[in-house]
Chain A
Amino acid sequence: MTIEGLLLSIAMAAAAGLVGCFAVMRRMALAGDALSHVALPGIGIAIALGIHPLVGAATALFFGAVLVWGLEGQARAATETIVGVVFSVALAIGSMLASGEQLIDALFGGAGVLRPAEVVFGVAASCVVVAFVLTQKNKLVVMLVSSEVARTAGISVRLLDFLYLETFSLTIALGLRYLGALLMGALIIIPAATAKQLARSLNGMLIVATVIALIATLAGSALASHLHRESGPFIVTAAGAIFLLSLLYRRR
């Protein structure tokens, strides 16, 4: 792996670990996974228009987060159903627009040579995600406990919710290059779910999730490189293995 690749994967893992903690605690593991599918039609349209797929994916994810946010604001309780339907259809449309190798790359990530712009975007986006979680974690915690308590404590609940969903989308976007839309959702959720099992405090959970995401990314990349295979599936399998070990540890 190149220095740029290493830097990008470390930044991506840190962002995924941190943002995932609140996704798991907010019980949006499945909604988050569905949201990641919306990247595909964006990639398809971008390829058709001849622009960088990442731009199309990021744009589609931005509006996907707006949609989830808008649905959350409705009093009706059918959000999960609508999210499931809309984003599964997005996956179908994405498959129609892109084909063959492009689609496999979009779903599971592709190797190829990293362009400087991709490295800059990845590291900058990771910094934004990490900074958001670390500066807003107190507000996010209060909102987790009770949105009414958060509101009376002076927190703009709807705005914070919107910013969190957009941060989540950005995290998926920055993992598309390596892991693809399907596997990045897994790197966000699995280390955080593992940390939830193991940690005894908020900071403990944030640290454990980040460390697990880093270990999975580095170990998965190293193994994939050794076997001359794509790194995405190895990274997520490594994360899954750590999760299973954590279940055994909890049983003891």
Chain B
Amino acid sequence: MTNILDVAHLTVTFENVEPLHDLSFSVARGASLAVIGPNGAGKTVLFRAIIGAIPHGGAVHWAEDVRIGYVPQKLDLDRDVPITARDFLGTQKTLAAVSDADISDALKRVGISAEVTKTPIGTLSGGQFQRLLIAFALLGKPNVLLLDELTAGVDEPGQRQLNELVANLQRDHGLTVLFISHELSVVYQYANNVLCLGRGMAHIGAPKVILTPDLLREIYGAPVDYHIHEH
């Protein structure tokens, strides 16, 4: 299987802090890579570096045909701006040359009703907003999805539905998924590989192989409790 992403010796420096140091890993096409680690470990910095949004050392090499859909955790937006969901998705008509039918199709796939698209995006619930961001990403016909804590601030049933939605999209479209998560049970369930960042260290491997209590204690600096959903 060919790689869609190769990262070699990635280093990011802010003033005197170095959130990422000499990080190397690869992601196979169609795979699912989870990125975990305590707050401040550099997970979002890693995502921003690999899309070229912040300066970095080392090499980030994407496959030539890569099209990335990004779902951020933190938005730059005021919640009271009068931009509707339809305004936001409509921007893809010029950016990605999609039609109204494509937009309706994307909305159906992520489970957003037409009625909801008429309301300002600031009034959407956390789960609806994440679905909207996924719909926007899908309209760009991506082959890679970068999800930064997709389910943060979403209630438990909503989290399950979002995780299932991504798994279904990945299966139906052969997507490669990189996702940041704090939920170890989700990592076990959905990831082929997991990249653990923290305390200046980085470990990558299959979750069942590398997520040992000792490694988690080393990365998080404290014992970590978790349970695995068996499905």
| Mutual binders A and B | yes
Residues of chain A lying within 8 A (CB to CB) of residue B92: 153
In the complex, what's the smallest C-beta–C-beta distance from B23 to chain A, in angstroms?
Answer: 19
In the docked arrangement, what's the CA distance between A201 and B78, Å? 14
Q: Known contacts A25-B81, A144-B77, A145-B77: does B146 contact A138 (CB below 8 Å)? A: no
Residues of A within 8 A of B (CB): 25, 27, 75-76, 138-139, 141-142, 144-149, 151-155, 157, 195-196, 199-205
Residue of B nearest to A75 (CB): B14
Q: Which of A25, A142, A145, A203 neighbours the largest number of chain B CB atoms within 10 Å of its CB?
A: A145
Q: Would you call A142 and B68 a contact (CB within 8 A)?
A: no
In the docked arrangement, what's the CA distance between A170 and B96, Å? 30
The 5 closest A-B pairs by CB, nearest first: A138-B91, A199-B82, A202-B87, A152-B70, A152-B68
Q: Known contacts A141-B88, A155-B95, A200-B120: does B136 contact A149 (CB below 8 Å)? A: yes
Q: Would you call A146 and B77 a contact (CB within 8 A)?
A: yes
Can you list 9 A-B contacts (CB < 8 A)?
Answer: A25-B78, A27-B78, A141-B91, A145-B88, A145-B121, A148-B51, A149-B137, A151-B51, A151-B52
In the docked arrangement, what's the CA distance between A142 and B70, Å? 12
Partner of A141, one of B15, B68, B87: B87
B116 at the interface (CB under 8 A from A): no
B53 at the interface (CB under 8 A from A): yes
In the complex, what's the smallest C-beta–C-beta distance from B20 to chain A, in angstroms?
Answer: 14
Q: Would you call A138 and B90 a contact (CB within 8 A)?
A: yes
Q: Would you call A152 and B88 a contact (CB within 8 A)?
A: no
Residues of chain B lying within 8 A (CB to CB) of residue A27: 78
Residues of chain A lying within 8 A (CB to CB) of residue B51: 148, 151-152
State the majority secondary structure of interface residues on B. Answer: mixed
Residue of A nearest to B86 (CB): A201
Q: Which of A148, A151, A157 neighbours the largest number of chain B CB atoms within 10 Å of its CB?
A: A148
Residue of A nearest to B68 (CB): A152
Residues of chain A lying within 8 A (CB to CB) of residue B87: 141, 201-203
In the complex, what's the smallest C-beta–C-beta distance from B63 to chain A, in angstroms?
Answer: 15
Residue of A nearest to B80 (CB): A196
Q: Would you call A145 and B90 a contact (CB within 8 A)?
A: no
Q: Would you call A196 and B81 a contact (CB within 8 A)?
A: yes
Residue of B nearest to A196 (CB): B82
Q: Would you call A149 and B70 a contact (CB within 8 A)?
A: yes
Residue of B nearest to A204 (CB): B82
Partner of B70, one of A75, A138, A146, A205: A146
Residue of B nearest to A199 (CB): B82
In the complex, what's the smallest C-beta–C-beta distance from B47 to chain A, in angstroms?
Answer: 8
Residue of B nearest to A205 (CB): B82
In the docked arrangement, what's the CA distance between A204 and B86, Å? 13
Further 16 A-B residue pairs, CB within 8 A, beyond A149-B71, A201-B120, A204-B82: A25-B81, A25-B83, A138-B90, A141-B83, A141-B88, A146-B72, A146-B77, A148-B48, A148-B53, A149-B72, A153-B92, A154-B140, A196-B80, A200-B120, A202-B84, A202-B87
In the docked arrangement, what's the CA distance between A149 and B147, Å? 11
Q: Known contacts A138-B95, A147-B53: does B76 contact A201 (CB below 8 Å)? A: no
Residues of chain B lying within 8 A (CB to CB) of residue A157: 53
In the complex, what's the smallest C-beta–C-beta distance from A29 to chain B, in angstroms?
Answer: 11
In the docked arrangement, what's the CA distance between A195 and B53, Å? 32
In the docked arrangement, what's the CA distance between A142 and B91, Å? 7
In the complex, what's the smallest C-beta–C-beta distance from B5 to chain A, in angstroms?
Answer: 13
Residues of chain A lying within 8 A (CB to CB) of residue B71: 149
